[in-house]
Structure 1
Amino acid sequence: MNFLNPFFLFGLLAVAIPVIIHLINLQRPKKVAFSTLSFFNELRKTTIRRIRIKQYLLMALRVLALLFLALALARPFLPPTITGPTSSTEPKVVAIVLDNSASMNRIGSRGPLIEQAKKVAGRIIQNANSDDKFYITTTNGDSFSQDRLLDKKRSNEIISDIEPQNSGHYTKERFLKAYQQLQGAPQAQAMIYIISDGQKSQMLDLKDLSIQRKDNAQKPVTIQPISLEKGKQQNVAVSSITLKNQMISQGTPITLAVDVENVGDAAVTNQFVSLEVDGELLGQHEVALEPGESKEFLFQAVPGQTGNLTGRIIIEGDEVDYDNRRYFVVNIPEERSVLLVKKEEADSPFSSYLQSVLEAAKQSRAQLSFKVQQPNQVTPSQWPNYDAIVLDGIEQIPDYWFQDMQRYVQNGNGLLFFPSEKGAIENYNRFLSLFNAGKFTNIVGEYGSFEQVIKMAEIEEGHPVLENVFAKKGDEDINIELPSLYYYYRYRNSGNAGSIDILKATNEDPLLTEQQFGEGVFLISTLGTDPGWSNLPVNPIFAPLYYRSILYASSSQKAGLQKYELGKAFRWEHALQSSDVKLELDGSEYRPKVEQAAYGVRISYSGQEWEPGILTIKAGKESYKIAVNQNILESRFGSLESTAWQEMISSNALSVNKGIKAGQWSAEELDEKLSASMFGQEIWSWFIWLALLFLILETVITRIYKAESVS
């Protein structure tokens, strides 16, 4: 507790007056013997004791009444927090972090939320002292740089210009920047106001704050959360777009799965979701969803050429407009490039049939081009030029390949592994462990014996590798002679969510397994590709099965959805011919940071000012497109209570006031709350009431408590 008028504390000396009066009353008169009144000597001791108790009680009540009256004149107040501002006259530095996300465009009972937030910020500035300084920042869009703290007039001008931005949010980064600005300010008292609708997508960023006050050199900073009313608009949004096709080519229909979600609390009908490709409307579905319900809609498009197929999904009939369009880019590759690394066959009685499959595919103008190398000819720096790498029968994978191969797959490329009959299991398993891809446990059968140890299990369609392998009508059963296995590696997959067994033996041993890793895919075979392992190489399914396996692995990155999500720095790596790179989005041009990477060029840009659209990357004659979209969380208006803010923000360096719900108060009441948050709450009226209470008690005791009466 502190005092605005501490001079009046000298009034506490007045409490001595009742004590002095009491001491004077204790002086005893002279004793005079008077025989006829001798019977008064028989007064009982209890009556005398009552009189003394009454005197002490009245003295205490009078002392307390004077004490609280003196304290009231000194105007006591409680600071917002124990370490918060303690003086209303000392200059302060105040930061205002204002939420300007797209959700702030919603309409509340007092108008648009963004206007409500700006009015609250204006009242904070208005209630401050003339010599207080300000730092103003927003959560979304490009951050306007402030090299110096602002006065009240300039702060009001900046607040008036703030508008909602349908861009990525940077709540955590902007809060930390505000904290740093306050730490560098000369003022001893500092506060940060956070004004927001409390949307979870914004506020959950503050959960990861890592501010710790390590010494007294750091300035104590008080945080004041201010929440606005919750807008009640209905909203329907496109939550995701995915491709049903894994292997894409020119002239082949692609299927887009579009998830539409009702993020509001009321049912919606008579709305429509449409597919638009290159400005042409290709399909439309009616939308009817219950609150919280999500539904998948399928659209088809046929790429007429290689390159980028660009488009957007549009929702019609929804009043919240900013998330009614979601963009997509599908890359249609002209061909996929494969590097086949194969063993020396001089010492082997059998030859791999895999190269023959690729050569036959090339002759039929398939979508694959390939190059063959021996292990000693391989140069890891050239790997990014290929969409997939096939390791066919290598006895031992060189250790110096490990990290480069791991990065190659992680960056979105494909890898196929076929073991050697003379393979080093320990080396293989160390390699598999890089991808969390399980391990080989032992070997079953005898290589080249042609003695069956087991058969391949029935083939079950469903995986992209097995699509269109068999020509059949409707639900017609697959009727083939299942291959016999003579020799294979027993393998145990990782069992994680990214591991899928594509082919199995009749005893459930995996024969071909997919392991997803990063943005890429790793296919592991437990069989080699020559007749010494099985009769699969001479079976009719061998060629289409392994051709599609290679096609699937090489489709991991070069085909598919090219996307970037707002709210994080844009990073992209590619083997470009030119380092003169520029970015184009919505008619604006940007120059990114360009660095030489191990396998090409690495591009980075903050992207803070970007909004959803189609981003074009240009480097010389090369051009690439990427869809830019908001995180679906920006469409979900669920908010956090102010108590949850306090729990997230609190740390050793930060003191957090109780949240203010601005939507509940009138302008005058809000001013009082804001003033209390900055200067503390005056409590002199409490002391006046206490003083009056003690005076009333003194009067009541004087009249009722007749301690002098004798019973």
Structure 2
Amino acid sequence: MNFIQTGFLIGGLAVAIPVLVHLLSRWQVRRVELGTMRFLQEVMQDGAQRRRIRRWLLLLTRMATVAVLVLLFARPYLPETIRRDGDRLRVMLIDRSASMSMPGQSGRLIDDAVAQAKDAAAELGTDATILWAWFDSSVEPFDGNLTRVSAPRSVVGDTNYLAALRWARDRVAADDDAIADVVILSDLQQSGLASDALETATLKMPKHLPVRVIDVGRPAANNLAIQTVTTASKRLSPQRDVIADATLFNFGTLPMEEIPMTATATNGRRSVRLKKSINLPDGQAQELSFDFGKLEPGTWQVTVQLDVEDDLAVDNRRMTAFEIAQPASVLVIDGGSRDAAQLAESFYLAAALRQTRREAALPDEVEVSAGDGQTAPQSGLFDPQVVFLYDDALPEMQPPRTGLVVVTDSGSLPQRAIQRLESYVTAGGKLLVFAGDGGEPGGGATAASSHTAWQQSGLAPGTLQMPLRSGAMPFRITSVESADSMLSPFADPQSGDLGRLAFDQMLPIQPAAQTDVLARFEGDRPALTRHRLGQGDVVWFLSSADASWGNWTTSPLYLPLVHQMAADLLDLTGEGKIRYRSVGDRRDLVATQAAPSATPSDPATLRTVSAGSRDGESLTFGQIGFEQSGGALYVVNSTAKESDPTRIPVEQFSEHFQITPAEPGTNEPTETVQGEHRHELWPWFAAVAVVLLTAEFSLANRTTA
């Protein structure tokens, strides 16, 4: 017997109340022997025995009444086991991962799985309910009409048995009255097992739910796989030879000799094709490099192809992409004179921008041949051009030709220069401004007049105030907006703690509503801001670009912080315009997405479709190829773990997931499924309570203390 409202069972403690009342009602008197009462005492003792019995019955009746009332409010019920014709439920899970494209007995392994699934479904007749679903890294239900069930043409996903079993468990739990079982058809590839034992333990498959595992895999498989294709960076210099490194692995049991390979790089107008061959021992990996030489600027797509036939064709091709680009044009505006260039703010900034950060996201500074035996340093990420307003005229600024403009001292710019910057940013330009007081010799307008011009133009992040000098302790950055791509590398103190930077002076502001504060000094004062103006972006660093307001230019963090601010404005941070994905990964942008091209190496065939169309309904990458979406190029490859054809026996599969295997040769579950139908007993307890209350009333009137 179970209870719906178990909390009322605490009321069972009230059974002690009648006992306490019974004990307290007993009279404690002093007995006095009177001779005249001898005959009356004999009469009273004759009726005392009957009264004592009635008092005990009254106590038991009251205790039973309290207990029955407690059980009545707790609503007891008996769970009913229902077994009816047509109550059978079978969940059919068919593996559609990449390994199921291997040759089978009647085509591919997935074709064999579909044929055996039809046989398993036909065993139950027409009265049973069958839920059909494909699974790879995710589960996709489908209409299982036996006359129309057919294997999909493309199978490229990776295997996730845990996700499939969870889905089946939840479907069965949603229909507790059904007598259910699960049938899973797969090649039992070992790579699909959950690697985390704790994650597997959370499955908790019901013990009464039998799972039949049908193995359609091959005893042995011969597979060569291209596991990775990489270049030195996603952004390369035109002066640098492009080298693509491909890693191959032989999963077969025999060595392979003279394996032909083709690497094709294309930018839509020109293609470069290279051919090589390689010897590959069994069970080992080898790396092969393809040198495409110097390529012209643009986005290039590379496809490396194995020109052999093996059991698994999906991993015989792998793609990558990169961008060939000149260093980004950066205009550095200095309000001073060229005669004082060694002491100007632009000296530090230009020197920092000419350097190359040795990080994976940016190209390394290497030396390349100049053609006559000499060597020349490879250009960095930025190409700064310094303009001194005291000596030079401000050049023409047009986005995207001028990728970024950097102002080294906000207080040194005249109003006409600020007005030209306003037109540049409104048209889509990028502006980075460092604070300053314009106090250098030959510096132009005063800080106060510059502040007015900045605010009138809309380029200011808010209300600019006069520079504020620190006291005994310097200003330090205390908080960073790590979610923003500009400062995300500095969220981890091991990568660079901006709190180590010290500033003797800063520019206080009252930020506008549309301004985002990315970093703050003590006292919640903004240190780095960003806001939009027209089509462009404006970033303010509210301290100087040189050592006049602090010695932060001597810090190891000066170079990476300047690079990060400039690169983020130029959309060179984060993943950038080229992003790598695997089949089954979720899409970043749902608003628009692209379909893989018929010839993945040809960007001219890329097309973009809206999310509302039939081709755009999927929220994951479903095919191998190149996809253009939201201004980014997605390189979609198969997952490397599907290349390993190692398999596991059915017994080990059942033990790993702690499932109850179905009895061979039977279609009946090993146990009867207990449904959630409740046969409530409260009417019976209500009737008993009425009887007990009546009995208590009668006994109480006939029993004296």
Q: State the TM-score, normalized to the length of structure 1.
A: 0.50
Match of 1:586 in 2: 597
Q: How far apart, CA to CA, are the structure 1 residues paired with 2:290 and 2:273?
A: 8
Equivalent position to 2:643, from 635, 639, 657 = 635
Match of 1:645 in 2: 653
Q: What is the SS of the residue equivalent to 2:193?
A: helix
Contact 2:332 2:406 in 1 (8 A): yes
Match of 1:178 in 2: 168
Matched, 1:256 2:256: no
Q: How big is the shift at 1:388?
A: 12
Q: How far apart, CA to CA, are the structure 1 residues paired with 2:402 and 2:324?
A: 11
Q: How far apart, CA to CA, are the structure 1 residues paired with 2:431 and 2:305?
A: 35
Match of 1:434 in 2: 492
Contact 2:256 2:281 in 1 (8 A): yes
Per-residue CA distance 1:638-660 (angstroms, 9 max, x = gap): 2233344334433xxxx4217xx
Match of 2:347 in 1: 353
Q: How far apart, CA to CA, are the structure 2 residues paired with 1:131 and 1:89?
A: 8
Q: How far apart, CA to CA, are the structure 2 residues paired with 1:546 and 1:187?
A: 63
Match of 2:306 in 1: 315
Structure with larger RCO (C-alpha < 8 A, sep 6+) = 1
Contact 2:111 2:151 in 1 (8 A): no
Per-residue CA distance 1:88-128 (angstroms, 9 max, x = gap): 96731000111122211223578642233223312322322
Q: How far apart, CA to CA, are the structure 2 residues paired with 1:230 and 1:341?
A: 69
Match of 2:322 in 1: 330
Match of 1:656 in 2: 660
Equivalent position to 1:239, from 203, 219, 227 = 227
Q: What is the SS of the residue equivalent to 1:118?
A: helix
Q: How far apart, CA to CA, are the structure 1 residues paired with 2:577 and 2:325?
A: 9
Contact 2:302 2:321 in 1 (8 A): yes
Q: What is the SS of the residue equivalent to 2:236?
A: coil
Q: How far apart, CA to CA, are the structure 2 residues paired with 1:301 and 1:239?
A: 20
Per-residue CA distance 1:125-182 (angstroms, 9 max, x = gap): 23224421101111149976558xx6xxx2x235444555124556554443333333
Equivalent position to 2:481, from 394, 398, 402 = 402
Assess, with a 3 A threshold, how the Cα gap between structure 1 residues 408 and 656 changes in structure 2: closer, same or farther.
Answer: farther
Q: What is the SS of the residue equivalent to 1:180?
A: helix
Contact 1:649 1:656 in 2 (8 A): no
Per-residue CA distance 1:380-407 (angstroms, 9 max, x = gap): xx9xx999999999964544543345x4
Matched, 1:227 2:215: yes
Assess, with a 3 A threshold, how the Cα gap between structure 1 residues 202 and 558 changes in structure 2: closer, same or farther.
Answer: closer
Contact 1:392 1:529 in 2 (8 A): no
Per-residue CA distance 1:551-589 (angstroms, 9 max, x = gap): 99985557685311112211159xxxxx7x442323675
Assess, with a 3 A threshold, how the Cα gap between structure 1 residues 402 and 220 changes in structure 2: closer, same or farther.
Answer: same
Match of 1:37 in 2: none
Matched, 1:567 2:557: no
Q: How far apart, CA to CA, are the structure 1 residues paired with 2:625 and 2:307?
A: 18
1:434 aligned partner, one-letter code? D
1:635 aligned partner, one-letter code? S
Assess, with a 3 A threshold, how the Cα gap between structure 1 residues 145 and 547 changes in structure 2: closer, same or farther.
Answer: closer
Equivalent position to 2:88, from 69, 92, 95 = 92
Match of 1:668 in 2: none
Contact 1:612 1:629 in 2 (8 A): yes
Q: How far apart, CA to CA, are the structure 1 residues paired with 2:158 and 2:333?
A: 44
Equivalent position to 1:363, from 385, 388, 393 = 385
Match of 1:473 in 2: none
2:95 aligned partner, one-letter code? D
Q: How far apart, CA to CA, are the structure 2 residues paired with 1:590 and 1:644?
A: 45
Assess, with a 3 A threshold, how the Cα gap between structure 1 residues 644 and 141 changes in structure 2: closer, same or farther.
Answer: closer
2:301 aligned partner, one-letter code? T
Match of 1:610 in 2: 622
Instruction: Count residues with an aligned counterpart.
Output: 441
Q: Which aligned pairs between 1:58-97 and structure 2 lie closer than 5 A?
A: 91-97=87-93
2:286 aligned partner, one-letter code? K
Assess, with a 3 A threshold, how the Cα gap between structure 1 residues 182 and 404 changes in structure 2: closer, same or farther.
Answer: closer
Q: How far apart, CA to CA, are the structure 2 residues paired with 1:339 and 1:96?
A: 64
Q: How big is the shift at 1:280?
A: 3.4
Q: How far apart, CA to CA, are the structure 2 residues paired with 1:642 and 1:375?
A: 72
Assess, with a 3 A threshold, how the Cα gap between structure 1 residues 351 and 261 changes in structure 2: closer, same or farther.
Answer: same
Per-residue CA distance 1:418-461 (angstroms, 9 max, x = gap): xxxxxxxxxxxxxx563433669999xxx9xxxxxxxxxxxxxx
Match of 2:119 in 1: 123
Q: Which aligned pairs between 1:100-499 and structure 2 lie closer than 5 A?
A: 100-108=96-104, 112-140=108-136, 145-146=141-142, 154=145, 156-163=146-153, 165-167=155-157, 171-185=161-175, 187-204=177-194, 208=199, 221-245=209-233, 248-250=236-238, 252-278=240-266, 280-301=271-292, 304-319=295-310, 320-333=312-325, 336=328, 353-357=347-351, 358=353, 361-363=383-385, 369-372=404-407, 396=475, 398-399=477-478, 401-405=480-484, 407-410=485-488, 434-437=492-495
Contact 1:307 1:334 in 2 (8 A): no
Contact 1:117 1:228 in 2 (8 A): yes
Q: What is the SS of the residue equivalent to 2:122?
A: helix
Q: State the TM-score, normalized to the length of structure 2.
A: 0.50
Q: How far apart, CA to CA, are the structure 1 residues paired with 2:333 and 2:164?
A: 50
Q: How far apart, CA to CA, are the structure 1 residues paired with 2:322 and 2:273?
A: 15
1:649 aligned partner, one-letter code? F
Contact 1:93 1:191 in 2 (8 A): yes
Q: How far apart, CA to CA, are the structure 1 residues paired with 2:344 and 2:608?
A: 58
Assess, with a 3 A threshold, how the Cα gap between structure 1 residues 568 and 390 changes in structure 2: closer, same or farther.
Answer: farther
Per-residue CA distance 1:483-505 (angstroms, 9 max, x = gap): xxxxxxxxxxxxxxxxxxxxxxx
Q: How far apart, CA to CA, are the structure 2 residues paired with 1:113 and 1:270?
A: 29
Contact 1:237 1:261 in 2 (8 A): yes
Q: How big is the shift at 1:254?
A: 2.0
Q: What is the SS of the residue equivalent to 1:353?
A: helix
Q: What is the SS of the residue equivalent to 1:117?
A: helix
Per-residue CA distance 1:565-620 (angstroms, 9 max, x = gap): 112211159xxxxx7x44232367543499xxxxxxxxx97444721011012x5x
Q: What is the SS of the residue equivalent to 1:646?
A: helix
Q: How far apart, CA to CA, are the structure 2 residues paired with 1:558 and 1:302?
A: 25
Please identify, of 360-369 and 127-136, the stretch whose mean Cα deviation from structure 2 is larger. Answer: 360-369
Assess, with a 3 A threshold, how the Cα gap between structure 1 residues 369 and 637 changes in structure 2: closer, same or farther.
Answer: same
Q: How big is the shift at 1:312?
A: 0.6
Q: How big is the shift at 1:630?
A: 0.6
5+ residue gaps, structure 2 = 1-80, 335-342, 355-381, 387-394, 396-400, 412-417, 419-424, 437-469, 505-544, 599-606, 673-705
1:355 aligned partner, one-letter code? L
Q: How big is the shift at 1:292?
A: 2.1
Match of 1:6 in 2: none
2:317 aligned partner, one-letter code? R
Identity of aligned residues (%): 14
Assess, with a 3 A threshold, how the Cα gap between structure 1 residues 678 and 113 changes in structure 2: closer, same or farther.
Answer: farther
